[in-house]
Amino acid sequence: MKQLPSILTDGYGRKHNYLRISLVEKCNLRCTYCMPSEGVQLSPREELMSASEVYEIAKVFVSHGVDKIRLTGGEPLLRKDFEELVKQLSSLPVSLAITTNGVLLDRYIGVLKKAGVNKLNISIDTLNPDRFKGLTLRDQFHRVMKNIDWAIEEGFNVKLNVVLIKGQNDDEIIQFIERTKDASVQVRFIEFMPFKGNQWDQSKTISLETILNRVSEHYNNSALERIEDEPNDTAKNYKIRGYQGSFAVISTVTNPFCDSCNRLRLTANGRLRNCLFSDKEQRLLELFRSGASIEPIIAKAVGMKKAVRAGLDSPEEFENYQNHQNNRSMIKIGG
């Protein structure tokens, strides 16, 4: 008998084994590339997934082949039931990871270790305290840096997410790479991406080519080492020879990686998204609460996935900021 294709395989043969779940739309920082300056309208509390709903919906995905789950937000550690939630999800046969801004990490190091969560992506866009306050509108730099160092000391696999924006923090590329000299940490430079309300334009994006040119200018060319990327990796990985850690570039804008995409996103209010740049969503939570099977709608969402960046095939289409105004802002999608 011919085996039917998985509901997580799209029309281009891409198998989606990675689910990113946003736990909350709130954040305790105010980075403008993520949250519009005027703020966002939050979903009513009753429309957000409960801990048990997150777990039960995640179980359905796992039963069809998802083996990696990442918890995002907003800031996921703002969830009052975070400990209960991560405990439930850790019982699933998945690699469980989290993306956080690090402000509250000191409260949850023990919880994460107990749940077996070893992978932490920590967002920090500057190593300058005054600039941090300007970018985030909060004075939390020293707490975040202390928590980063603590996580590394505790043996977590730590990646630092750095969104580069021209004229704001692109002069810190080398300073961030120097953080990898004596620490087993990966710095990931992320190209500034267009979302509703973040005033994106192409001129603010620091490309993969620009980053590598600056690295080559500072270090001897023979010191720059290309590291083999993992399957479905969004990042191109490098290191400076002799350094403990590494760095990577996520070039979503200038060098997209859609052909190997294996990711689906579940928003905090239970909408399934098949692409970061798509404004099309499937209402999973409402269907789940009705008692109906959510598998057909998962299959529909995966089947609708476009080959490249939600159908914005050409650079001209993608770089037209108006084409992103019907999408959510990043904070409401999930980082």
pLDDT per residue rounded down to tens, the chain (335 residues): 345 569 999 999 999 999 999 999 999 999 888 887 777 888 999 999 999 999 999 999 999 999 999 999 999 999 999 999 999 999 999 999 999 999 999 999 999 999 999 999 999 999 999 999 999 999 999 999 999 999 999 999 999 999 999 999 999 999 999 999 999 999 999 998 878 777 778 888 999 999 999 999 999 878 999 999 988 888 999 999 999 999 999 988 888 889 999 999 999 999 999 998 888 899 999 999 999 999 999 999 999 999 998 788 887 887 788 878 777 787 888 87
Q: What is the pTM of this model?
A: 0.94
Check if CATH label 3.20.20.70 holds for domain 18-333. yes
What is the domain partition of the chain in residue ranges? 18-333
Report the number of secondary-structure helices (H) and strands (E) in the chain.
11, 12
Edge to edge, the sheet with strand 263-266 lists 224-227, 236-240, 246-250, 186-191, 157-164, 119-123, 95-100, 68-72, 18-22, 263-266, 271-273, 282-283
Rg (Cα) of the chain, in Å, rounded?
19
Closest by CA position to 135, among listed 124, 144, 146: 124
Q: Please give the structure tokens belonging to residue 42.
A: 């939050």
The single residue listed with the structure tokens 């000391």 is 153
